[in-house]
Structure 1
Amino acid sequence: MVDILLERTVPLPLDEAWRRVTQWRRHGDVVPLTAVRVEPPAPTRRGTLVVARSGVGPLAFDDPMEVTVWQPPQDGAAGRCRLEKRGRVVLGWAELEVRPGPGGRARVVWREEIRVRPLPSLFDGLLRRSARYVFGRALNRLLRQA
């Protein structure tokens, strides 16, 4: 099991930072070789299923994630979303939090615990580095693009 923590402070209001990181289909635009579908399509709520399909051809697999916590920011208070990974290949969870940061900025925190079923723990270091790189780049792009 690999733990990942990414933090960014951005010059955005809380609700805009939240909107950018929880537009699930856009995650597919910023993660290589990935397409995302959402069931039901909108609005996100507890029980929404976010399915990221990653890979190419016969090497592709689904990473279904169920939204188990959905608390958008409200009245200046932090927002939090938790997704439980329900797939056969990728297990664990992800949490996105948007909270007030210094100088009226938004502080975005992405926590993830991930395990890829066929990989032995020997590969945890490689998985951690590659996941931090891919998810960090995706988070940067999500927050930059309106």
Structure 2
Amino acid sequence: MVLFHLERVAPLPAEQAWLRLTDWPRHADVVPLTEVTVLTPPPTAVGTVFVARSGVGPLAVDDPMEVVVWQPPTLCRLAKRGRVVTGWAEFEVHPHGEGRSRVVWREDLSVNPLPGLFDRPLGWLARRMFGRAVDALLGPGPGPRHR
């Protein structure tokens, strides 16, 4: 199990940062070799289910997630319901000065069947990968593409 957290200050109002972080298909634009499929109809709410499929061909891994806490525009918590990837992720979005927001992302991640001795490198990789994804979601460029 790997528990990590990230904090970012975004040059976006909190509502816009929230919209970017909760545009589930847009995550595929910032995570290499990943597709995101939302399995439930919009709008997002508790019970929304989506799957992030990462990898290539037979080496791809599904990461099904369910929204278990939905308090826009402040708090979202996801339960990871996969056979390989388990745990949870949550993020908070708070106003942070004029036209900016502070994002706190927490994640508890397990990858089966990796033993505990892989926790340290998995934690390093997860922090780096999710940090880059959050930076890209909140950075310059187009806003949400799937609404």
Relative to the length of structure 1, the TM-score reads 0.92
Out of 127, 133, 139, the position equivalent to 1:132 is: 127
Aligned to 1:76: none
Distance (Å, rounded) in 1 between the aligned partners of 2:114 and 2:101: 36
SS at match of 2:68: strand
- The aligned amino acid for 1:35 is E
Out of 71, 85, 98, the position equivalent to 2:93 is: 98
Distance (Å, rounded) in 2 between the aligned partners of 1:99 and 1:38: 26
SS at match of 1:65: strand
Aligned to 1:115: 110
Seq. identity, %: 63
Aligned to 2:72: 72
Distance (Å, rounded) in 2 between the aligned partners of 1:97 and 1:63: 21
What is the 5 A alignment of 1:1-146?
Answer: 1-73=1-73, 79-144=74-139, 145=141, 146=143
Distance (Å, rounded) in 2 between the aligned partners of 1:2 and 1:123: 9
Runs (4+) of structure 1 exceeding 6 A deviation are none
Count how many residue pairs are aligned between Structure 1 and Structure 2: 141
- The aligned amino acid for 2:122 is L
- The aligned amino acid for 2:137 is L
Q: What do residues 82-103 of structure 1 show as CA deviations (whole Å, max 9, x unaligned)?
A: 0000000001000011012245
- The aligned amino acid for 2:7 is E
Relative to the length of structure 2, the TM-score reads 0.92
**Unmatched runs of 5 consecutive residues or more in structure 2:** none
